[in-house]
């Protein structure tokens, strides 16, 4: 509890500005851009999300992420005759697509960059967003400006790098604190089609699916971002290819997947977050059988809300 209290105090005195690097680039896409073109921009720039800008009203118009492309795929599957229209859709039509397939609307939650980091975290967890745009008001024009986007990944990295004195106190094991999900796990096989896995992600509202063999041994992990190369250039037919084929499209410098065991301690998880590019951790047993999955949101939720303190803390918007 002392370690957690230290982390919470840290998150209350730091702001989102503190998390940003000294120098960074930000790619913002105009809402009038064709969805197909936005996909190319993602691939060319190696990015997986971008804020949208409504240039008619000079307003922030939400955040584009791989989930939106997954929604377009769902739309294409439900209305196959619409394929020619799908090609013509602009980013501003994403709302209509979401309405047509009955999913939650595009994420528009944002936070001011000088608010406490704790607030950015709790807003993300509350809205189930994995990243949140930092939106400020320009003093001169009084209009919104998008400063950057921070992700759960970046925040956990920031915590792990700067608070070793607190994280090193978190000696309980994953099993003891029940970190992650262990029941009703969504899994897939190498031979399943990408489309089947996309459906699993939509139905369970998750961003990754462990790939297992017939004995439940973990072979890999299919992530929402793995869908992007499959729909490059509007080639939706590639969604019929197998998970194995899609995983072969990963960049050469792909770091691999991270695993842990239920007897590993939370401080060692923070050590891994400090040293590597971890987005989620697959929990396995001695023989590599799948036991569970720990998402970054599971870790962040534990840090913010575990125990009685903070459980009810939702700052005013
Ligand atoms: P994040 O919100 O960090 O991107 P996910 O969307 O993957 O993570 O996970 C959301 C919740 O669903 C977490 O509590 C996580 O433990 C759980 N979860 C993640 N993947 C799976 C899966 N394949 N099967 C069942 N539950 C999962």
Whole-number Å distance, alpha carbon 139 to ligand 1 midpoint, is: 40
| Ligand 1 contact, 223 CB (< 6 A) | no
68 Cβ inside 6 Å of ligand 1: no
Highest mean pLDDT among 55-59, 232-236, 308-312: 55-59
- Give residue-wise pLDDT tens across range 131-144: 899 999 888 888 88
DSSP SS3 for 290:
strand
Region 68-90: mean pLDDT is 79
Task: Work out the number of other CB atoms within 10 angstroms of the CB of residue 245.
Answer: 15
* Ligand 1 pocket check for 299: Cβ under 6 Å: no
Which CATH number applies to 2-162?
3.10.580.10
Predicted pLDDT of residue 181: 96
DSSP category for residue 22: S
CB atoms near residue 76 (< 10 Å): 20
Question: Does 181 contact ligand 1 (Cβ within 6 A)?
Answer: yes
Is 242 touching ligand 1 by the criterion CB < 6 Å? no
Residue tagged 């590993």 (tokens):
264
Cβ 179 under 6 angstroms from ligand 1:
no
Q: Is 206 in the pocket of ligand 1 (CB under 6 A)?
A: yes
Expressed in angstroms and rounded, the spacing between residue 206 Cα and the centre of ligand 1 is 5
Ligand 1 center to residue 208 CA distance, Å?
7
Interface predicted TM-score of the whole assembly (ipTM), two decimals: 0.91
Pocket test for ligand 1, best of 206, 210, 280 (most atoms within 8 A of CB): 206
- Do residues 185 and 292 make contact, with C-beta atoms less than 8 angstroms apart? yes
pTM of the model: 0.86
Provide mean pLDDT across the span 55-71: 85
Check residues 46 and 115 and name the one with the higher pLDDT. Answer: 115
- The pLDDT tens digits of the residues spanning 215-236 come to 999 999 999 888 887 777 666 6
- Of 3.30.450.20, 3.90.1150.10, 3.10.580.10, 3.40.50.150, which CATH number belongs to 172-295? 3.10.580.10
For residue 313, what pLDDT is reported?
A: 46
Q: Are 295 and 156 in contact (CB under 8 A)?
A: no
Identical fold at 2-162 and 172-295? yes
> How many other C-beta atoms can be found within 10 angstroms of the C-beta atom of residue 234?
15
Burial of 44 (0-12, 13-18, 19+ CB in 10 A): exposed
Looking from the CA of residue 209, the nearest atom of ligand 1 is: 23
Instruction: Spell out the domain ranges in the chain.
Output: 2-162, 172-295
In the structure, what pLDDT confidence band is assigned to residue 310 with cuts at 50, 70 and 90? very low
Query: 119 falls in which pLDDT band (50, 70, 90)?
Result: very high
Ligand 1, closest atom to CA 210? 23
Distance 74 CA to ligand 1 centre (A): 20
């Amino acid at each position: 509890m002392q370690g957690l209290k230290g982390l919470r105090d840290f998150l209350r005195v730091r702001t989102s500005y503190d998390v940003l690097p000294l120098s960074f680039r930000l790619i913002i896409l105009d809402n009038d851009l064709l969805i197909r073109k936005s996909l190319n921009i993602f691939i060319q720039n190696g990015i997986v999300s971008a804020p949208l800008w409504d240039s008619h009203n000079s307003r922030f118009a939400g955040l584009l992420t791989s989930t939106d492309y997954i929604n377009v795929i769902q739309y294409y599957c439900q209305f196959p005759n619409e394929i020619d229209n799908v090609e013509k859709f602009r980013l501003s039509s994403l709302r209509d697509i979401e309405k047509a397939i009955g999913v939650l609307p595009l994420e528009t939650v944002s936070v001011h960059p000088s608010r406490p980091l704790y607030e950015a975290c709790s807003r993300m967890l509350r809205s189930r967003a994995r990243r949140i745009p930092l939106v400020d008001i320009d003093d001169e024009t009084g209009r919104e400006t998008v400063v950057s986007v921070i992700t759960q990944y970046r925040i956990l990295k920031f915590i792990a790098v700067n608070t070793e004195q607190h994280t090193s106190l978190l000696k309980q094991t994953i099993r003891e604190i029940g970190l992650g999900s262990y029941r009703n796990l969504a899994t897939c096989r190498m031979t399943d089609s990408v489309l089947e896995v996309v459906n699993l992600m939509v139905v369970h509202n998750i961003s990754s699916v462990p790939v297992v063999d017939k004995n439940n041994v973990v072979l890999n992990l299919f992530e929402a971002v793995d869908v992007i190369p499959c729909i490059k250039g509007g080639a939706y037919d590639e969604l019929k290819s197998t998970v194995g084929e899609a995983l072969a499209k990963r960049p050469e410098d792909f770091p691999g997947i991270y695993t842990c065991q239920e007897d590993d301690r939370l401080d060692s998880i923070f050590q891994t977050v400090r040293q590597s590019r971890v987005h989620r951790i697959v929990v396995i047993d001695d023989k590599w059988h799948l036991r569970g999955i720990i998402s970054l949101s599971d870790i962040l939720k534990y840090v913010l809300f575990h125990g009685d303190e903070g459980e009810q803390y939702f700052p005013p918007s």
